[in-house]
Each structure stands twice: as C-alpha cells, then as structure tokens.
C-alpha cells in the first residue's frame, strides 16, 4: 500500500458540559461520568497542544466543544481559538466540531480560518432514538447539509458497537454516502461504566470488516479514519487497519479517553513502510 496516512489530533476545548442524553457519551452531565469538565480550556494550553500535534505529523487539528450546538458565546470562542492556533501553527488544517450549526454560523467559522466541520450521524435514522431522545437524527443530517452549503469540507461518520444491527450500519453508510463527506471517521464504542449502554460486543475481525464496508460504501471519500476506540478495539492488531481500507487515524488523546503516545503511532506507520501525509489533497 503506497497511500500516505493522514494524521489528525483532537483538542477538547470545552469538556463535559452537555445537557443532551446521548447514551454513548460520557460528556453528558446526565450520566455523571468521572471525567474532567471545564467551560473553556486555557488558550496557552490549546496552543501548546496544537504545536505538539503539528510536530508529531498531524495535518488536521479539531476544535471540539461539548454542547448540542453552537451559540454566540461558543462561536466566538471557537473563532478566537482558531485565530490563536493559526498564529503558532499555521500549517495545521483547522477542523471544528461543535454540534448543530446553521449555514450562517458555519460561514463565520470559515471566515475565522476553519477549513472543515465534523458532525457525525452516529448511527442509522431508525436506531438513533434508542441512543438519543433530546434531539432528532434529522437535525444531524441537516447540519451536514449546511456544511456543504457553506463550502466547508464535510467530515462525517459514526459509531459502531452501540447495539445496532447490520441493517442499521448499512443504513448509516448509505446516508453518509448521500452527503459525500471528504473524510469519514469510524468510531468504535468505548464503554464507560457510568453509561447505560452495554459494552461493545464487536470482535476485532468484525471491526475490520466494518472498515472494509465503509470504504466500499463510500468509494468517493478521500479518507476513512479510524478514530475513537481504536486502541481498545484492536489492541495489538492496530497495524492491520490500513490493510482493510483505513488511511487516516487520530493521534494522541480523544475527548475523554486517553490514546496511546503519539510516537508509538508514528513508529507503527514507519514499521509498515507507510508514509505520513504532509499535505492535504
């Protein structure tokens, strides 16, 4: 495989303050998960994380907030963060992940230097009410449409292992294909004892087959990214994900769970005779 691997890093700039009831998410205040919670991360710390991500080969840097969607205060903070990060690491491609967003709000982010917006469908429209009741799946789909209308790069994927059926997975992938995302993050549910869902029952081989299925159903996507739950799901077999259609990973920590040391992922890529992407196509 000669394809270069696109690396992305996540920066949780507002943590654990969400009022929604998504059953897979430890950032909901409803479940009282033992996680770090804060309204706004210190700007100097954000810039330090951005520099570290860049220095470890990340091209994408995603600014995540834990709320249902954008409001004026959050929008202003994300824009300020975007400008500060650009001042210290202009090489990074800035991504925002801030929940429900209108075209107007997305255009403000675009003006501030945000290049892409991540909003996952999570699962199928039919299964969604079983994992979230405080907002509809249609709202998620509409935000993705708004991203396309605003002329930002759309990043949209979902989570496997929530208790959904194979039919649900096919349905979600069909919905994603209709939105034509540039990048598709695949997450594997990482169980937290505070959450109501059952632990992820997928086997490693089933997970590999789901990466292959995602690539097959979204042939136009430039990147199939294995994101949350990678270390837990694949363990010592993480290096095999690239054989099954993935060409992008998240390096470093996730929103409320720790990833492995960035240098270990770089060593893994090098050991496979793969290269880290140095520019966005």
Which pLDDT value is given to residue 31? 46
In a domain, 277, yes or no: no
In a domain, 185, yes or no: yes
Match 């770090």 to its residue by tokens. Answer: 36
Which pLDDT value is given to residue 2? 46
In a domain, 16, yes or no: yes
In a domain, 278, yes or no: no
Integer Cα distance of 130 and 121 in angstroms: 14
pTM higher than 0.75, yes or no?
yes
In a domain, 77, yes or no: yes
Which pLDDT value is given to residue 134? 77
Which pLDDT value is given to residue 230? 87
For the chain of 281 residues, list the mean pLDDT of each consecutive stretch of 10.
82 68 56 56 90 92 85 92 96 94 98 96 93 85 98 96 94 98 92 63 93 97 92 90 95 59 86 89 64
Burial of 280 (0-12, 13-18, 19+ CB in 10 A): middle
In a domain, 281, yes or no: no
Domain span at residue 54 reads 6-271
Distances (CA, A) of 240 to 103, 236, 250, 252: 39, 9, 15, 19
CATH of the domain at 69: 3.20.20.70
In a domain, 62, yes or no: yes
Let me know: does 217 contact 173? Beta carbons within 8 Å: yes
Q: What total of structural domains would you count in the chain? A: 1
In a domain, 249, yes or no: yes
Which pLDDT value is given to residue 235? 87
Query: In the Cβ-directed half-sphere of 207, how many Cα atoms lie within 13 Å?
Result: 29
């Amino acid at each position: 495989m000669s394809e270069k691997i696109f690396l992305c890093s996540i920066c949780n700039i507002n943590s654990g303050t969400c009022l929604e009831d998504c059953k897979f998410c430890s950032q909901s205040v409803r479940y009282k998960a033992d996680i770090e919670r804060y309204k706004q991360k210190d700007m100097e710390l954000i810039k330090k994380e951005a520099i570290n991500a860049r220095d470890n080969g990340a091209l994408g840097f995603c600014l995540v907030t834990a709320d249902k969607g954008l409001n004026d205060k959050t929008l202003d903070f994300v824009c300020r963060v975007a400008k500060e990060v650009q001042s210290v690491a202009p090489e990074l491609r800035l991504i925002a992940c801030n929940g429900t967003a209108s075209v107007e709000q997305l255009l403000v982010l675009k003006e501030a230097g945000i290049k892409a917006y991540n909003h996952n469908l999570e699962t199928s429209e039919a299964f969604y009410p079983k994992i979230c009741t405080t907002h509809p799946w249609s709202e998620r789909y509409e935000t993705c449409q708004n991203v396309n209308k605003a002329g930002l790069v759309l990043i949209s994927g979902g989570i496997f292992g929530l208790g959904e059926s194979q039919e649900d997975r096919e349905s979600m992938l069909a919905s994603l294909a209709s939105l034509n995302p540039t990048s598709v993050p695949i997450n594997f549910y990482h169980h937290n004892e505070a959450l109501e869902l059952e632990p992820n029952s997928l086997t490693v081989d089933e997970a590999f087959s789901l990466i292959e299925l995602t690539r097959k159903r979204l042939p136009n996507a430039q990147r199939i990214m294995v994101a949350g739950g990678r270390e837990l799901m694949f363990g010592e077999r993480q290096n095999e994900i690239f054989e099954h259609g993935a060409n992008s990973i998240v390096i470093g920590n996730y929103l409320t769970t720790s990833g492995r040391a960035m240098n270990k992922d770089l060593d893994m890529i090098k050991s496979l005779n793969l290269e880290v992407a140095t520019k966005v196509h």
